[in-house]
Amino acid sequence: MRKIILLGATGSIGENTLEVVDAHRDAVELVGIAANTRWRELAAIAQKYAVKHVAIFDETAAQEAQGSGTFPAGTRFYVGLDGLIEIATLAEANLVVTAVVGTLGLKPTLAAIHAGKDVAVASKEILVLAGQFVMAAARERGVSILPMDSEHNAIFQCIGEEKRHVDRLILTASGGAFRDYTLEEMARVVPADALKNPNWNMGPKVTVDSSSMANKGLELIEATWLFDLPESRIDIVVHPQSIVHSMVKFCDGSVIAQLAPPSMTFPIQHCLFYPKRLAGTRPSLDFTQAFSLEFRAPDYGKYKCLRLARAASRAGGIAPAVFNAANEVAVDAFLKGKIPYLEIPEIIERSLEKIPNRVPVDLDDVLAADAEARLLSGQ
């Protein structure tokens, strides 16, 4: 029986996770749930799945929740960052799913690993900012880091027991909303244009990141940590259909790919029951119907964010954290109409130039770099 703590229960990954839980109530139990502010949604989830432990990061929201009388009788509440850390280390859980937005999930995730729990990682920041600490702690404690992002989950499935035979990883990318735009056309886009992803239904930040391929850049950095390979051994290929979720090329030249329809329920379910496989919640690919798969190299001239992510990954130290923070600030400014679209990579580049790189000593040091980059790129 999987007994899970779901950090980020009210977001889009949380929603998809609940869909999988719903389909397999006899194989998985929701022990605890956490969210930042949306306590009404948490209350509904707590009622439906009889969840006993509820964490809310925002203190005002937590107060409202506790006084609302909408949670099941006897609910135990956890508040703030300490609350998130406490719920992530509950003795009765054996898997923590980290799907909270931003850097909020870092400390709870590390605490869960130290407490000996397997962790399914959906939040990009966990590995982009703290890859070395997370992987080292997981090795030390002998726990599994299960990648929930579709690309990394695909690679994880393709590698199987053959890690030592891996030659290269091939990360696929939809190419986002502007994959057929020229650089001149990209210069004129407005937020509404960037919020249309052709294949995936995601939140606004990720959708913009997908259009600029900053998202693939973050995934590239994550992959270096998860699979212990330098960025030079990870290729990126534009695959407009988003059916091949990534591939692995082995030393003998064979390539293994993982295919599924573009729905997060597939990688989520794989993580929840790994190494077992249970019946899927959605229809899979139907090969009796004709469809085609295309692949093409990304235009690095057009996707500057991708170039910068590769450079940040090569540089190591706090550079990936700076890349991530500057991108987040820039995307926010773009969505608010304060900067043009192509200013996003410029802000990232300036931040990477201005902040001297260093090897972080611990998680707090990385978080300090994150804060510094946010301050600087917002100016």
Residues that bind Mg ion (CB under 5 A): 149-151
Closest residue to Mg ion, judged by C-beta, is 149
Closest C-alpha to 257, from 372, 153, 142, 139: 153
Nearest residue (CB) to Mg ion, 62 versus 127: 127
Name 64's Cβ contacts closer than 8 Å, sequence gap at least 6.
39
Rounded Cα–Cα distance for residues 10 and 3 (Å): 18
Nearest residue (CB) to Mg ion, 210 versus 377: 210
Q: Is 253 helix (H, G, I), strand (E, B) or coil?
A: coil
- State the minimum distance, in angstroms, from the CB of residue 150 to Mg ion: 5
Rounded Cα–Cα distance for residues 281 and 258 (Å): 18
- State the minimum distance, in angstroms, from the CB of residue 171 to Mg ion: 9
In eight-state DSSP terms, residue 167 is E
Nearest residue (CB) to Mg ion, 86 versus 149: 149
Taking the chain, what is the end-to-end CA distance rounded to the nearest angstrom? 50
- State the minimum distance, in angstroms, from the CB of residue 268 to Mg ion: 12
Rounded Cα–Cα distance for residues 19 and 199 (Å): 20
Nearest residue (CB) to Mg ion, 217 versus 345: 217
- State the minimum distance, in angstroms, from the CB of residue 42 to Mg ion: 25
Nearest residue (CB) to Mg ion, 77 versus 200: 200
The sign of the CA dihedral 273, 276, 279, 280 is positive
- State the minimum distance, in angstroms, from the CB of residue 357 to Mg ion: 26
Closest C-alpha to 96, from 106, 206, 71, 46: 106
Nearest residue (CB) to Mg ion, 118 versus 149: 149
Phi-psi map region of 359: left, alpha, beta (phi>0 left; psi -120 to 50 alpha): beta
- State the minimum distance, in angstroms, from the CB of residue 4 to Mg ion: 21
